[in-house]
Amino acid sequence: MFDNDGTLWSEQPNYVQLVFAIDRVKALAPKHPEWRITQPFQAALEGDLLALRRQGEGGLLKLITATHAGMSTTDYSKIVSEWLSIAVHPTHKRPYTEMVYLPMLEVLSYFKKHGFKNYIVSGGGVEFMRPWSERVYGIPPEQVIGSSIKTKLVSRNGAPELIRLPEINFIDDKGEKPVAIHQFIGRRPIAAFGNSDGDLEMLQWVTAGSGARLGVIIHHTDNEREVAYDRKSSIGRLDKALDEAAIRNWLVVSMQSDWAQIFRK
Amino acid sequence: MFDNDGTLWSEQPNYVQLVFAIDRVKALAPKHPEWRITQPFQAALEGDLLALRRQGEGGLLKLITATHAGMSTTDYSKIVSEWLSIAVHPTHKRPYTEMVYLPMLEVLSYFKKHGFKNYIVSGGGVEFMRPWSERVYGIPPEQVIGSSIKTKLVSRNGAPELIRLPEINFIDDKGEKPVAIHQFIGRRPIAAFGNSDGDLEMLQWVTAGSGARLGVIIHHTDNEREVAYDRKSSIGRLDKALDEAAIRNWLVVSMQSDWAQIFRK
């Protein structure tokens, strides 16, 4: 089980999906003049990330449901793919799908080669990851678990289509990660990789199973090649899980000292 | 995508999971004296299937939440396995896991041999099928999609466990089958097998995709070796989907004339 943001790819300076949502607000704004004076849309339009953060999780969910719904699942997938093909990381100036950690790609392929099924278990939107997870990570869409909004089967010109509704279905974070894993897979996995307190319950649950278990925390310690952050970060805070790692014998990987190379070339 | 009840195994004279639920009511009854005079429990205790059916879907769900919840997912899985190891089909006098259709096992293994991933997509409880799907069908738990109740992560003697709550999470039937498939798999499958109107939307959605598609209906036409039923049956009614099969060119398989052998030896 692999968390995505901060574990497989960079989550700094902002979650990629948040950047996507902001760009979606900008693209849809001409049809929503009221957004210019309504939060969280105003903050998004003004690119004011601090104001956006002040809207809390409620504001974030409002942003997601307003910009990620109202289209078919097929159309949404296209929108994501198109956006990823042109969006560029603000400081590294590379596409986000290249902001993936080389050592983690090596771990993924090592497991795969030895007959394991790799899964992503992310707080991010499951449909935001599926269009590119196979190409970038070698993980097929059916092995991606994430947050989701509700969908509904409708008939469009006589053809059935799934339409994305502006309503949250499931938030795949913290204590819900084990719930989602069990719902999707029906058994307790034997290894879990995470980088933040959002992965704590998944790590606890996975490593509490019987037999050999592996818990790994990716610790962002490299301020030169990436961003150093942990206990006080507003994105990907790693605090309780770092304490627990010492007690539970989880492997803590220091990006600075353990990784010869961070990003894919 | 394979429906389970009536497509991979027999659903007559009653859904296997309903028989299980009734046996669970009997096992738990000593702790619930009020059940003797409360529906749907009274009907279950008296083995009065007609009275039980009169309670409708609401009664059925009440039965499920009262008997399938309150234990860990691990304990539930054990209860299911133990029950299946002793329960016997009322007329064929064989374990239910032997009441599976031989030609369907052949189809499953044919697909698997050719690199396909087989999935079960059933209105039945996902956790009711997962303990035996791999042994009986060669389908691993993570390729079983079904109805579910909610679960919650709790700490038991310091160890995290998922507890089954008496609350429905998802009913995987009719228009919800495509919704569930998309949620679990994230792409539109290319083949679907069903036997009732509960599979209609899945068949429509799967076969409406682009490229080659396969829709198959298993038609219960053999009253000697199995049970003949379709348009008016209260279990597994096949009516609209039979009409639509003719229009959409779905393959309708007659169990009587197309299947040399019905059950596994």
Percent over 90 (pLDDT), chain A: 95
Instruction: Say if pTM beats, i.e. exceeds, 0.90.
Output: yes
Mean of pLDDT values over A103-117: 98
Distance from CA of A225 to the nearest CA of B (A): 34
Distance from CA of B142 to the nearest CA of A (A): 4
DSSP strands (E only) in chain A: 120-125, 144-156, 159-170, 191-194, 214-219, 251-254
Mutate to test the interface with B, among A183, A184, A201 (most CBs of B within 10 A): A183
Q: CB distance from B167 to chain A under 8 Å?
A: no
Chain B residues 194-233 with a CB less than 8 Å from chain A: 201, 204-205, 208
Q: CB distance from B160 to chain A under 8 Å?
A: yes
B127/A186 Cβ within 8 A: yes
B204/A117 Cβ within 8 A: no
B182/A151 Cβ within 8 A: yes
Which among B141, B183, B186 has CB closest to A187?
A: B141
Distance from CA of B218 to the nearest CA of A (A): 22
Quick one: pLDDT at residue A193?
98
Mean of pLDDT values over A96-111: 98
> How many angstroms separate the CA atoms of A94 and B30, rounded?
66
Tell me: the pLDDT tens digits for A134-159?
A: 999 999 999 999 999 999 999 988 89
Q: CB distance from B118 to chain A under 8 Å?
A: no
Give B-chain residues touching A160 at CB under 8 angstroms: 178, 201, 204-205, 208
Quick one: pLDDT at residue A158?
85
Order across the sheet with B159-170: list the strands.
B120-125, B144-156, B159-170
A205/B178 Cβ within 8 A: no
Quick one: pLDDT at residue A57?
87
Quick one: pLDDT at residue A87?
98
Q: What is the pLDDT along chain B (265 residues), one digit of tens a residue?
A: 999 999 999 999 999 999 999 999 999 999 999 999 999 999 999 999 999 989 988 998 899 999 999 999 999 999 999 999 999 999 999 999 999 999 999 999 999 999 999 999 999 999 999 999 999 999 999 999 999 999 999 998 889 999 999 999 999 999 999 999 999 999 999 999 999 999 999 999 999 999 999 999 999 999 999 999 999 999 999 999 999 999 999 999 999 999 999 998 7
Question: Is residue A265 over pLDDT 80?
Answer: no
Which among B130, B162, B205 has CB closest to A153?
A: B205
Task: Count A/B contacts: CB-CB distance under 8 Å.
Answer: 77
Give the up-direction half-sphere exposure of residue A160: CA atoms within 13 A in the CB hemisphere: 21
Which among B126, B183, B201 has CB closest to A186?
A: B126
A208/B141 Cβ within 8 A: no
A185/B141 Cβ within 8 A: yes
B148/A187 Cβ within 8 A: no
Closest CA to A185 of A206, A164, A216: A206
Q: CB distance from A187 to chain B under 8 Å?
A: yes
Question: Is residue A47 over pLDDT 80?
Answer: yes
> How many angstroms separate the CA atoms of A6 and A13, rounded?
11
ipTM of the complex: 0.95
Q: What is the dihedral of CA A143, A146, A148, A151, to 10 degrees?
A: 0
Write out the H or E segment, with its range, that includes residue B49.
helix B49-54
Closest CA to B52 of B43, B61, B65: B43
Give B-chain residues touching A142 at CB under 8 angstroms: 117, 184-187
Write out the H or E segment, with its range, that includes residue B160.
strand B159-170
